[in-house]
Structure 1
Amino acid sequence: MRLTVICSPRTLEGQQPFQTLTLRSSTLSIPAGRTSHEGAAESTRTVVQELRDNPRASVLIIGGGINGVGTFRDLALQGVDVALVERGDYCQGASGASSHMIHGGIRYLENGEFRLVRESVIERNALMKIAPHYVKPLQTTIPIYSTFSGILSAPLRFLTHKQGKQVERGAVLIKAGLTMYDFFSRDGGNVPRHSFVGRKKALASMPDLRKDVKYAATYFDASVHNPERLTLDVLRDGQLANPAVRAANYVSAIGAGEDGVELRDELTGETFTFRADVVVNASGAWTDETNAALGTESRFMGGTKGSHIVLDHPELLKACNGTEIFFEHVDGRIVLIYPMGDRVLVGTTDIDVDVTEQAVCTDEEIDYFFELIGHVFPDITVAKEDIVYSFSGVRPLPRHDETQPGFVSRDYRIEKREEKTDGRTVTTLSLVGGKWTTFRALSEHLADDTLAALGRPRRTSTAGLAIGGGKDFPTDEAAERAWVRGMVRPGFDEARVRVLLTRYGTRASDVIDYLTEGPDRVFTSTAELSTRELAYMVEHEQIGHLIDVLIRRTSLAFRGLVTEELLAELSEALAPLLGWDAAQSAAEIELAGKVLAEAHRVHVTSLTS
């Protein structure tokens, strides 16, 4: 039987009217006045109370995506008293809606963005070393159907940043691009050079490719299968580096005055004023909206929507043969078919969008994804029933007016504003642009500008500094097996330890220690989560809602593993940890169903259906 999903606001029996809550790019609803969190040791509400009790910091960062969190970590390492607020959950916006790639941006060469490509490949190579628990090498294959096509049109695209009449990129053009990419990205020879094979070898390795394929080019980038958990790991690094720092999700910036920035607790509706010498606006595509709330209009942003679908399709997974298929569709867009574990990710679109509207993957985009799959694998049939998850986010791109979305720069800049308020100077730094791959370098740049505004020197660099559970992470499969065997103990077999290693990196050892300190029970609806691990997440990772566990603390939603039974078990386990009564527990199940249905097109089913 299917879970009945509520798709319009209403009240449950005996509950108060709904208040608005922004989740991802969606406006959804929860019951007001049902959010006591007194049972959480270090929950979001505890941190919010700390912010309210001590409403002052040197720096206030608005935005808990990867760039805001990365800047938080960097400043914490410099000994700066920094606070961060995020209106939803950490990594909920564009940072959590990426293509799960850490890449140098080979296609940016065509736009002439050589500085960005160089920085991107340097940071890509570095992330594989400092965050190896989440960032892995990714073999990428480009199927090619012509030899000389696109040679004349490429210079026109380079000069005008317009697509013009669509002409397919042929082997000569792609070969030139990959040769240049090798020059930028080989990391002293640690990254393999690209390779080219002809039709016979291409079909031998991937027999389901279109039979008119002429060549296949293969090169290496990197993937990040758990961007949400990497963001949490970066955040945790900052919190451990400096006990004075504070970060809270579900807190929004709604105004400003002489006394400081007005903040609102989105779970209780309470407001308070917070003062800082430097305000860093890292709210992504909503940077202009945040500036407006702070009292200064800006027109920096022009975000575009990117959507993806996740398929449970063994035939398509097998056809990819373990490699990402990265190619040009018939409309000239660069798209991807990307095997991830036992699922296949397909994306992405690039559509101008109004950030005030809900961003979801539409039927038209799904049809587009099915078309692009057929473009490469014409004999493989994909249906909507194969989709287990979909997601859509708004890229934090700069305002681009008449420039076509695909040609808008993925580089970043920082806009500075100073004003005198109540006899003091307040500096506002607005981040415009940015991408996942370069978050460490971008955060360093943003932190440097913040330090300059504070008149403080940098005392340490994050370059080469291991991120969280990436420290001492096993370097190969044999070392990983040995690590797992070394952590096996009563109640933790190899399968359970491996799940924890995948989720936390080497910080899994701390988690296992925590789990053994009290009674624990693995859920019946999933072997990947237990009651005490949920308590660990509440205590150390600031869970505000049940949906946070499904999407951003685990990958259960992404893989289509959410069931009615799981929702019920999670709600029951979270209730005493977060102080929910029966009505709030029911409301959290309803909210989870709404988010999955409206933002991700997921229909939750029963294990028995």
Structure 2
Amino acid sequence: MGPKDSAGRPSATPAEKQGTERSSVHQLRRRPHAKVLVVGGGINGVGTFRDLALQGVDVALVERGDYCQGASGASSHMIHGGIRYLENGEFRLVQESVVERNRLLRIAPHYVKPLQTTIPIFSTFSGVLSAPLRFLTHKQQGKPKERGAFLIKLGLSLYDSFSRDGGTVPRHQFRSGRRARAELPALRPDVKYTATYFDASVHNPERLTLDVLQDGEKAGRAAVGEGNAQGYTARASNYVSLQSMTGKPNPGTGRGSTVRLRDELTGEEFDFTADVIVNTTGAWVDLTNEAMGTASTFMGGTKGSHIVLDNPALLEACRGREIFFEHTDGRIVLIYPMGDRVLVGTTDVDADMAEDAVCTDEEIEYFFELIGHVFPDLPVTREQIVYTFSGVRPLPRHDATQPGFVSRDYRIERREPVQDGNGKGAVVLSLVGGKWTTFRALAEHMTNDVLAEIGMGRQVSTAQLPIGGGAGFPADEPGVQKWIKAHMASGRDADRTAVLLTRYGTRAQDVMEYLDAGPDRLLHSTRELSVRELEFMAAHEQVGHLVDVLIRRTSLAFRGLVTGELLNEVADVLAVPLGWNAAVRAAEIKHAQDVLQRFHRVETHSLVA
């Protein structure tokens, strides 16, 4: 299994890399055994890593690309209960999702925010007769029948019921067509009603994943103490792939299995042993199991694409809320503002794992059609697209079931350890399914299964534990402004302080201490990054490629703010701490340009200096 970058293509040629061994890889090679090895650094793998570390388990995690680069980074940026899953009869999942949504609003308030959501409705009783058949068969029979006000009211009432305990968002409201158009004047004139309710959004899923990861690493350090000669009990590295597995056990214990790991930035390989292996590689679960010598057919992922628009008229038309509705083909789609941009999604088509997941011309036309379905008088052009992204949902194999009806729930598949003359091999637990909203609960479930395998009990609950920079985050806008004012410094104004608070949550205080410890300056190409902040990312956030900073350590690419000047300037700064010579620096710029153009439709013309 070769490495893939932010969107699924092979990483830069390892031979081009140079410099000293990365500290994250050094920790793995220094002590090449863990009780548990997690393979896959999306949100579910990272969540499991954190939970295990908090229980005092000796755990390691490897990710073949960058953290949150696959489906976790290609989501609709929603933390939601999944109202449409009610139609599939997935009541357990909806209840868990609503509970977890409310919980994340409390424990990760720096990234997870309430999202007002409005459904435009064009009929009263449409779909009443077809809905039971759709519920029973999980198939669309004939031409889709749009869901009318009666069905939507029924669904939202049930949805609200799941929030009755510990709910943190208001209950839904219905509006007449006249009142709806007063609130949203750009809506189609034949709107009969609107239904408005609250879910939540995550504007920085990549950074939330890093926070979860760093919480796990911190727990590992605390478990052994900084001076422990054996190293940390929780170690993680990106750009490390699993190549194969043998029945060879750990020589010291006679248990577990040996896997062959590969550092994708240097090409070097090394052995690592573990008693339990947790496969959280998403849509690649079957391929990972194949690499470990046991083929499986658990997965049947579907591709979902999105576009990001710089369209002030559409931004204004949304009035700060998500527009969530059923398109003419029966697909549930969304339009919603993220800062000064508008996110539009999503598609749901069977994925070919042999092909790159990219947003196609046909999908872009589909997005323009769905915008016109609710905002017919707003022009949208391709020139307004600043970013596109696609990912493969880690759904279970679904055979004849239509993609939209495939379960979004998850399950854990256990492979018995291999018994041979060498001893007892590793247990392999494979995650099938999983979604952003339920990652904490899923990680708790997976961790409990692992603890049962290794004979340990749970020591800490993550249910009320703040995540990273969510600890002590201001509860309201006056509190945010007070925090910003208290943390301004010479050379750092309110705008710069606000950027840091948005990017790191209250962990921004640690970043600021680093920035203030030496001379610093903002980049010439953007006011959202400084030289020392890039050095901080290189030292503390496992930056492997230039493109990691643009897509996953910041939102610059997502918002269409990457320029040739920015590429050159960021590469210049990173070259020093990451040990890039002139040839590697040039290769990193070219690599970033290729990824941005091929997978995100972002053109950056840059003369490499």
TM-score class normalised by the smaller sequence: over 0.9
Q: Does structure 1 residue 256 correspond to structure 2 residue 245? A: yes
Alignment of 1:144-163 (within 5 A): 144-163=121-140
Deviation at 1:242, TM superposition (A): 1.3
CA contact (8 A) 1:20 1:30 kept: no
2:229 alignment partner in structure 1: none
SS of corresponding position for 1:474: coil
Matched positions, count: 584
1:4 alignment partner in structure 2: none
2:101 alignment partner in structure 1: 124
Measured in 2, the distance between the counterparts of 1:279 and 1:562 equals 39
Q: Does structure 1 residue 91 correspond to structure 2 residue 68? A: yes
SS of corresponding position for 2:178: helix
2:252 alignment partner in structure 1: none
CA contact (8 A) 1:420 1:426 kept: no
Deviation at 1:186, TM superposition (A): 4.1
1:570 alignment partner in structure 2: 570
Measured in 2, the distance between the counterparts of 1:31 and 1:411 equals 37
SS of corresponding position for 1:573: helix
1:603 alignment partner in structure 2: 603
* Aligned equivalent of 1:195, options 163, 173, 184: 173
Measured in 1, the distance between the counterparts of 2:312 and 2:527 equals 22
Measured in 2, the distance between the counterparts of 1:603 and 1:186 equals 48
1:454 alignment partner in structure 2: 454
Deviation at 1:25, TM superposition (A): 4.0
1:30 alignment partner in structure 2: 12
1:3 alignment partner in structure 2: none
Amino acid in the other structure paired with 2:305: S
Identity %: 68
Amino acid in the other structure paired with 2:204: N
* Aligned equivalent of 2:343, options 339, 342, 345: 345
Deviation at 1:453, TM superposition (A): 0.6
Q: Does structure 1 residue 511 correspond to structure 2 residue 511? A: yes
1:10 alignment partner in structure 2: none
Measured in 1, the distance between the counterparts of 2:11 and 2:431 equals 29
Measured in 1, the distance between the counterparts of 2:606 and 2:351 equals 35
Return 185-194 or 156-165, whichever deviates more.
Answer: 185-194
SS of corresponding position for 2:16: coil
Measured in 2, the distance between the counterparts of 1:188 and 1:294 equals 43
Return 82-91 or 490-499, whichever deviates more.
Answer: 490-499
CA contact (8 A) 2:282 2:394 kept: yes
2:227 alignment partner in structure 1: none
Amino acid in the other structure paired with 1:26: G
TM-score scaled by length of structure 2: 0.94
2:391 alignment partner in structure 1: 393
SS of corresponding position for 1:192: coil
Q: Does structure 1 residue 134 correspond to structure 2 residue 116? A: no
Alignment of 1:401-480 (within 5 A): 401-418=399-416, 419-420=418-419, 422-480=422-480
Measured in 1, the distance between the counterparts of 2:102 and 2:575 equals 43
Deviation at 1:178, TM superposition (A): 0.5
1:310 alignment partner in structure 2: 308
Measured in 1, the distance between the counterparts of 2:371 and 2:425 equals 55
Deviation at 1:163, TM superposition (A): 1.0
Measured in 2, the distance between the counterparts of 1:460 and 1:438 equals 18
CA contact (8 A) 2:7 2:595 kept: no
Measured in 2, the distance between the counterparts of 1:491 and 1:33 equals 41
Measured in 2, the distance between the counterparts of 1:290 and 1:189 equals 39
Measured in 1, the distance between the counterparts of 2:205 and 2:166 equals 27
Deviation at 1:20, TM superposition (A): 7.0
Higher relative contact order (CA 8 A, sep 6+): 1
1:157-209 Cα offsets, whole Å, 9 max, x none, are 00000011211100001000001001012444532110001111111111110
Deviation at 1:357, TM superposition (A): 1.3
Measured in 1, the distance between the counterparts of 2:106 and 2:139 equals 37
CA contact (8 A) 2:8 2:70 kept: no
Deviation at 1:73, TM superposition (A): 0.2
Measured in 1, the distance between the counterparts of 2:91 and 2:326 equals 21
Structure 1 residues 66 and 189, CA gap change in structure 2 (3 angstroms): closer
Measured in 1, the distance between the counterparts of 2:270 and 2:154 equals 57
Measured in 2, the distance between the counterparts of 1:29 and 1:231 equals 21
Measured in 2, the distance between the counterparts of 1:151 and 1:440 equals 36
Measured in 2, the distance between the counterparts of 1:229 and 1:191 equals 24
Deviation at 1:293, TM superposition (A): 0.1
Measured in 2, the distance between the counterparts of 1:578 and 1:261 equals 28
Structure 1 residues 298 and 213, CA gap change in structure 2 (3 angstroms): same
2:51 alignment partner in structure 1: 74
Measured in 2, the distance between the counterparts of 1:272 and 1:388 equals 41
1:83-129 Cα offsets, whole Å, 9 max, x none, are 00000000000000000000000000010000000000000000000
Measured in 1, the distance between the counterparts of 2:43 and 2:295 equals 24
CA contact (8 A) 1:37 1:577 kept: no
2:226 alignment partner in structure 1: none
CA contact (8 A) 2:3 2:239 kept: no
Return 382-391 or 253-262, whichever deviates more.
Answer: 253-262
Measured in 1, the distance between the counterparts of 2:281 and 2:364 equals 28
Measured in 2, the distance between the counterparts of 1:305 and 1:185 equals 30
Structure 1 residues 519 and 368, CA gap change in structure 2 (3 angstroms): same
Structure 1 residues 32 and 236, CA gap change in structure 2 (3 angstroms): closer
SS of corresponding position for 1:59: strand
CA contact (8 A) 1:104 1:185 kept: no
1:382 alignment partner in structure 2: 380
CA contact (8 A) 2:177 2:194 kept: yes
Amino acid in the other structure paired with 1:486: A
Measured in 1, the distance between the counterparts of 2:240 and 2:535 equals 22
Structure 1 unaligned residues grouped into runs of 5+ = 1-18, 39-43
CA contact (8 A) 2:11 2:264 kept: no
Amino acid in the other structure paired with 1:34: E
1:372 alignment partner in structure 2: 370
1:496 alignment partner in structure 2: 496
* Aligned equivalent of 2:212, options 234, 256, 276: 234
2:153 alignment partner in structure 1: 175
Measured in 1, the distance between the counterparts of 2:189 and 2:165 equals 35
Measured in 2, the distance between the counterparts of 1:183 and 1:29 equals 47
Amino acid in the other structure paired with 1:248: S
Amino acid in the other structure paired with 1:158: F
2:189 alignment partner in structure 1: 211
Measured in 2, the distance between the counterparts of 1:238 and 1:46 equals 16
TM-score scaled by length of structure 1: 0.94
Amino acid in the other structure paired with 2:366: Y
CA contact (8 A) 2:280 2:431 kept: yes
SS of corresponding position for 1:256: strand
Deviation at 1:37, TM superposition (A): 3.7
Amino acid in the other structure paired with 2:568: A
Measured in 1, the distance between the counterparts of 2:2 and 2:161 equals 51
